[in-house]
Structure 1
Amino acid sequence: MKTKTLFASIAIALTIGAGGGYLALSQALGGAPGLAVPQEPDPSMTAAILSEPANQDPSQLILKLAVHYLEHYGETIAEPVTQARLYNERRALLDSYPSSGYELFEDAVTTAFPNLASQILTLIANLDRYHDWLDDHEFRLQGLPALERRAEIWQQREAIFGTVASEIWAEEENVVEEQSEVFQQELARLEEAEELQLTELAYQLKTTADDLYGNRLTRQFVGSGALGHALFSMSSVQSQLAGLPPEARQQAINSLRQQLGYSKHAIEQLAEQDQAREQKWQNGRAYTTERDALRQRLSGEALDAALSSLREEHFGMAAPTIAREEKEGFYRFERPRQYGVN
């Protein structure tokens, strides 16, 4: 069902993606931008090399660094994510050799990986561009809603790194995908939970979102309508709503929206939309009944003329759209009704 993939697309794409440096998921969705690349897990060798006397022969230092880079990164150096980890190596080098660190790093990389040196140094230069962008926009980014911040960050990443961005930040995307998978599993369970009351279904859905994404991001899901769409798209919810009288149904929908965290103003506006949709469905069903009756009695040009008049009677200016849809085999009022959604 579409609900099972709804939060996957939102969480990954809002989504879905953001640009810039490496962000742990908690930073990407709820905090300030962090490092541009994953940290080297064991910097002890680097620290040992750089702790040696600063006046040591540069050629010897370059050789030691090259050997270190080969040992730690050589096996997967062709992968962009591994190349990106050298960014932190250069940072450590610059801390110890602020005046010559850039040159030492380039020479060490060229010594260690002569065939890939140009590619590596270009990627490192792009990471500099990315960090500069993060620094320039730090306060503005922190002021954005989490989803907007993530989207803008991914946009910048892709502008600088192209398709390679998804490789560099694959770990971050994997975390989002894992959360989305957990959420989809919970949606699938609630989808079939016909024994649960509406309020319990809403409670479990919101609790799952809070646990996975945090209250702040869940509020954005509510504001975007995604959480409500997920709830009202469940067959377990629709089956109960369908069994209520119209007035009681609307009251139940309003209460569920309030439970999810919708504002009073939003609930009132959505209730008006619900009533407008209800009128359209009633009109559409009346049209469908009359259309089917005409098809039983007429054929050919007489049927076409009668249907054209019937569509104009029910839909006015939208009649040509309805005619085109039906010619293409789409009958909008024969699709499932989802209260609170369509």
Structure 2
Amino acid sequence: METSRKTAGWGLFVPGSEPVLTVKPGACVTINTVSWTGATAPEGPIAYFRALGVPAAQVLPELLEVAAMPRPEGSSGHVLTGPIGVEGAEPGDVLEIRVLDVSPRVPYGVNSSGPGLGVLGDLLERRTARLLRLDPEQRFYAFGGGIEIPFRPFAGIMAVAPPTGVGAVSANPPGRWGGNMDFRDLVAGSTLYLPVFQPGGMYYTGDTHGAQGHGEVDQTAVEHSMKVTVQFFVHKGGALKFPRAENRDYVWCMGIHADLNLAMRIAAEEVVDYLVGVLGMTGVEAYRLSSLVVDFKVAEAVNVNKVVIAEIHKDRLRPLVGGADVPIVGRGHHRPAGSSVS
């Protein structure tokens, strides 16, 4: 699936949008995304990249096409591809997105920051951008001074359409629908679970990164155009409130809020919900276990809403399911009595 005027747009999630593609559960879709870097530059993408040392022949033509599109009021500068509808997905269900492959479309990425951007943006005096070239074996970016940054590509934005009541939403702050979570562990081999708010789910992706630390503190990662292959499944009645994810070794529950303290609280509530509703623990013991074996990480710190990840190693949980595969979502799971989400 190519990114073009017909399949892509600026960073806005709009409830009720028509899908650019509709697939059945189990379908695999390869999406050729483009990074937003250069698309919003006043001088245009060609001049922007030329100044960084990239020849015009290495600038994706789709980026030029998208950059020429009018940008709606309220949208972020991200380039989103989608939405993709999944047959049978209805509000109250869970959309499972298995990340099968993420690979580069160009041999470079860009990191940029400036005044007002990131955690320390108040200390910066001017906007700067740095080109980072991927080595030929696609193992790392050479940062300089002998430092190598491992290449771990992922999609910074993976989302479904939000609830109708919230209206059109900028793709900049992440939310219950996913979005700009910038969770660096959603690489190939991981799986994301999102609550469904609209018929078909309406899946969007973009903002692909080649490398990033948890937090993304200077506002950007290595922003890099990628080819992303995902597979879709639908869980009926999964009743998620916030996104969850997994890979071979870990389960991840998420808390998302503009206030870091509340994002942390939601992440703790979500992991207790998971242990109680899916794995059958009591609320008190789930809370106790969360303090003893769960690691809480700030995955995203700079896009209005903060994302706190509750990370649990599956080895800690397998005794609860007799050594079997650890389930991530359950049908109709409920919050333990007395708890609430702020």
TM superposition score category, shorter chain reference: under 0.3
After TM superposition, the score normalised by the length of structure 2 is 0.21
Indicate the structure with greater helix content.
Answer: 1
Indicate the structure with greater strand content.
Answer: 2
Larger radius of gyration: 1
